[in-house]
Structure 1
Amino acid sequence: MINWKVRFKNRNWVIAFLSQLMIVAELVLSGLHSMGLVHFQLTDSIQNSILTLVNAVFVLLSMLGIIQDPTTKGYKDSDQALKYKEPK
């Protein structure tokens, strides 16, 4: 059984889950529209607007340090990374 409480505490998992949920919603809407069950269609301008908004949110989250490097614990750089003169 999936422990949802633990998964929702992991910000990386939540961000991945939400982005995949949006992709599924887009696919479902497209499928329902092609079957004639829904008259709403995602036009290119709507898709571009949504993509621009999502990109802006991810840039903001990255700048705030909320999207973190999964190879380190917490939100700071590891001691090893702080000592680098050049990237490995």
Structure 2
Amino acid sequence: MINWKIRFKNPVFLAQLFLAFLAPILGYFGLTAQDLTTWGSFFDLLVGAFSNPYVLLLIVVSVWNALNDPTTRGIKDSHQAKRYQWPK
């Protein structure tokens, strides 16, 4: 089990999750964040990404890497991390 409450209090985790979603999309289409100058271009990029199974696979793998704790088996937090009240 993942301690979602604590993970979402951690700004580093939030940034990692955001980049795990956005970086594969930008990388596949050969763009940088500076290329997204309008909301229309951003939403067109998302539509293109979600209609491409390869990009979706890249996003899933990237999010898996953001969620995975390599010190535990599977996707879960350690017993110590489950007891956290605030990110350390």
TM-score, with normalisation over the residues of structure 1? 0.31
Greater RCO, CA 8 A, separation 6+? 2
TM-score, with normalisation over the residues of structure 2? 0.31
Report the structure number with the largest CA radius of gyration: 1
